[in-house]
């Protein structure tokens, strides 16, 4: 399920849209698997009242672990880590929601952290430092965090390029206004005005 487009601004484009790494589901999945295996083992090993008691206990554990897995799957489906042309967005939840948004212009540093095991499975943490109120945000269970770090850096560079381009356009517009003022006051002839304008727009 992709990040809802209605939550983006009109001028905004998505560079990266991720759900958490599958390891996010591993504890609940492992608990459900173990409960299922133990239930089958109990059915094969015990007789009489011990079998009945053990079956009830194992079925109870299986139901609880399966419910936990369902909850984690819903959380996985409704958790987004998104990089856009203007910000990083983290959203989680269906009824109770939690969200973090970090504008690119506030970011000062982007780091990632992986244990040896996380490197093997392609998961890890992404740490973003910013000039905002919280200062630092840590995002866990990120898929391929080193690649995500590079994507965020690329988004920052693109934003800087757009900012520089906008400043250049603003400078040209200011100079054109000055030339127009000189022409209206008669300081520049029409031919000189056209020539100066052409040079600015080249």
pLDDT tens-digit profile of 182-192? Answer: 667 766 667 66
CB 73 within 8 A of CB 10: no
What digits encode the pLDDT tens for the residues 16-36? 999 999 999 999 999 889 888
Is residue 172 a part of any domain in this protein?
yes
CA distance 25 to 98: 19
Residue 15 has pLDDT above 80, yes or no: yes
CA distance 26 to 72: 9
Judged by DSSP in three states, 113 sits in strand
CA distance 37 to 31: 10
Higher pLDDT, 189 or 6: 6
Q: Structural domain tally of the chain?
A: 1
Q: Which domain range does residue 171 map to?
A: 154-201
183 within a domain of the structure (yes/no): yes
Q: Is residue 131 part of a domain?
A: no
Say how far apart CA 152 and CA 82 lie, in whole Å. 10
**17: helix, coil or strand?**
strand
Backbone dihedral angles phi then psi of residue 102, each to the nearest 5 degrees? -125, 110
pTM of the model: 0.70
* 94 assigned to some structural domain: no
């Amino acid at each position: 399920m992709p990040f809802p487009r209605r939550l983006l601004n009109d001028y905004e484009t998505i560079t990266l849209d991720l759900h958490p790494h599958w390891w996010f589901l591993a504890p609940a999945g492992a608990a459900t698997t173990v409960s299922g295996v133990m239930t089958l083992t109990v059915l094969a090993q015990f007789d009489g009242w011990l079998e009945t008691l053990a079956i009830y206990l194992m079925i109870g554990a299986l139901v609880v672990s399966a419910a936990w897995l369902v909850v984690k799957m819903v959380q996985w489906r409704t958790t987004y880590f998104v990089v856009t042309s203007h910000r990083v967005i983290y959203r989680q939840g269906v009824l109770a929601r939690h969200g973090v948004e970090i504008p690119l212009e506030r970011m000062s540093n982007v780091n990632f952290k992986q244990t040896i095991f996380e490197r093997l499975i392609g998961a890890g943490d992404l740490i973003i430092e910013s000039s905002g109120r919280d200062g630092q945000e840590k995002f866990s269970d990120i898929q391929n965090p080193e690649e995500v770090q590079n994507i965020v850096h690329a988004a920052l560079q693109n934003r800087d390029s757009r900012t520089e381009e906008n400043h250049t356009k603003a400078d040209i517009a200011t100079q054109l206004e000055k030339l127009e003022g000189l022409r209206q006051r008669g300081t520049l002839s029409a031919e000189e005005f056209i020539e100066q304008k052409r040079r600015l727009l080249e």
